C-alpha cells in the first residue's frame, strides 16, 4: 500500500471526523462540502482510496472506512491532536489558534518527532478542545457525550469537548470562561426562539448562541 498523500489523509480524517461523535454515514456531497472542494473531485479521490483498500464505496452510495482506512485516519487524527496539544502547552498558542497550524503540520512531521512530542507531553489523553487523542495503536478512549444544543433543562455535566471548527466562537467561549472541563447546568434548553442558558459552578449565568450550542459536548 503506497504511502498516502496529504490530500488522501485529509479525506480519511474528515470521513472519520464525521462519525466520531454521531454515528452517521457520510455521503460524497457532504464530504465535498466539508473539504471545500467540488463533488466531482471527491468521486475521483474516493476511487483511489477504494482501490487502495482504505474505503468501501458502492457507486452512488455512502462512504465507509475499511479497517485499514480507519487505522490511517486515526493516525492522522492522533497527529493533529498531539500537535494541537503541543502548540498550546509548549509554544504558547491559545486553543482557538491551533487548528490551522495543526492542519498543515499533521502531514509533515515524522513519526520520530511525533513520538518525541508525545513523550514530552506525557502521553496526553485529550487535546486542548477536549477531543480524545488516539494512542499509538489507534485506540480511542471516548466518553458518552451529548450535544449541548440537545440537552434538556436541568442537565448537569462537564464540558467534554468543543469542536474547533469555528475559532471566533472558541474565543467568545474562552472569554466566558467556558472550556473543556468546565462544569455547567442547563437552565433553559435551546428552542427556536430562545438561546440556551447555562449556569456555571460560581452561579454565573451565560447565554449561548445556537451556533455555540452546536459545538459543545457535555457529559451525559
Partner DNA sequence: TAAGGGCTTTCGGCACGCCTAAATCTTGGC
Partner DNA sequence: GCCAAGATTTAGGCGTGCCGAAAGCCCTTA
* Residues at the site binding its own copies, with contacts judged by CB under 8 A: 87, 90-93, 97, 100-101, 104-105, 107-110, 112-113, 116-117, 120
By beta-carbon proximity to DNA, the closer residue of 48 and 126 is 48
Residue 113's binding partner, choosing from DNA, its own copies, none, with beta-carbon cut-off 5 to 8 A by kind?
A: its own copies
Closest CA to 12 of 81, 63, 60: 63
Residue 108's binding partner, choosing from DNA, its own copies, none, with beta-carbon cut-off 5 to 8 A by kind?
A: its own copies
DSSP character for 190?
Answer: -
202: exposed, middle or buried (C-beta count within 10 Å: 0-12, 13-18, 19+)? exposed
Residue 38's binding partner, choosing from its own copies, DNA, none, with beta-carbon cut-off 5 to 8 A by kind?
A: DNA
Residue 84's binding partner, choosing from DNA, its own copies, none, with beta-carbon cut-off 5 to 8 A by kind?
A: none
**Cα-trace Rg, the chain:** 18
By beta-carbon proximity to DNA, the closer residue of 5 and 152 is 5
Contact 37, 75 (CB under 8 A): no
CB atoms within 10 A of CB 130: 22
Residue 21's binding partner, choosing from its own copies, DNA, none, with beta-carbon cut-off 5 to 8 A by kind?
A: none
CB atoms within 10 A of CB 214: 19
Return the sign of the alpha-carbon dihedral for residues 217, 109, 75, 106.
Answer: positive
By beta-carbon proximity to its own copies, the closer residue of 22 and 110 is 110
**Residue 53 contacts DNA per CB under 7 A:** no
DSSP character for 54?
Answer: S
By beta-carbon proximity to DNA, the closer residue of 13 and 161 is 13
Name residue, grid cell 493533529. Answer: 80
Measured CA to CA, the distance from residue 159 to residue 51 in angstroms comes to 40
Which of these ranges, 56-64, 79-87, 128-136, 141-149, lies near DNA under the rule CB under 7 A? Answer: 56-64
**Residue 29 contacts DNA per CB under 7 A:** yes
Site of interaction with DNA (CB under 7 A): 5-8, 10, 27-30, 35-48, 57, 59-62
Amino acid at each position: 500500500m503506497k504511502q498516502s498523500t496529504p490530500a488522501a489523509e485529509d479525506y480519511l480524517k474528515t470521513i472519520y471526523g464525521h462519525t466520531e461523535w454521531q454515528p452517521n454515514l457520510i455521503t460524497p456531497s457532504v464530504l465535498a462540502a466539508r473539504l471545500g472542494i467540488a463533488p466531482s473531485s471527491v468521486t475521483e479521490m474516493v476511487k483511489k482510496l477504494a482501490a487502495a483498500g482504505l474505503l468501501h464505496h458502492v457507486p452512488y452510495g455512502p462512504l465507509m472506512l475499511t479497517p485499514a482506512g480507519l487505522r490511517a485516519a486515526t493516525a492522522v487524527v492522533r497527529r493533529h491532536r498531539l500537535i494541537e496539544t503541543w502548540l498550546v502547552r509548549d509554544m504558547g498558542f491559545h486553543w482557538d489558534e491551533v487548528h490551522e497550524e495543526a492542519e498543515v503540520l499533521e502531514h509533515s512531521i515524522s513519526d520520530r518527532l511525533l513520538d518525541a512530542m508525545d513523550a514530552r507531553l506525557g502521553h496526553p489523553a485529550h487535546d486542548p478542545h477536549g477531543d480524545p487523542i488516539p494512542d499509538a495503536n489507534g485506540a480511542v478512549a471516548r466518553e458518552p457525550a451529548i450535544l449541548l444544543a440537545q440537552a434538556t433543562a436541568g442537565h448537569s455535566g462537564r464540558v467534554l469537548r468543543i469542536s474547533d471548527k469555528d475559532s471566533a466562537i472558541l474565543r467568545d467561549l474562552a472569554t466566558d470562561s467556558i472550556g473543556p472541563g468546565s462544569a455547567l447546568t442547563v437552565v433553559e434548553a435551546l428552542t427556536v426562539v430562545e438561546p440556551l442558558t447555562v449556569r456555571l459552578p460560581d452561579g454565573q449565568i451565560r447565554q449561548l448562541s445556537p451556533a455555540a450550542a452546536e459545538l459543545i459536548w457535555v457529559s451525559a
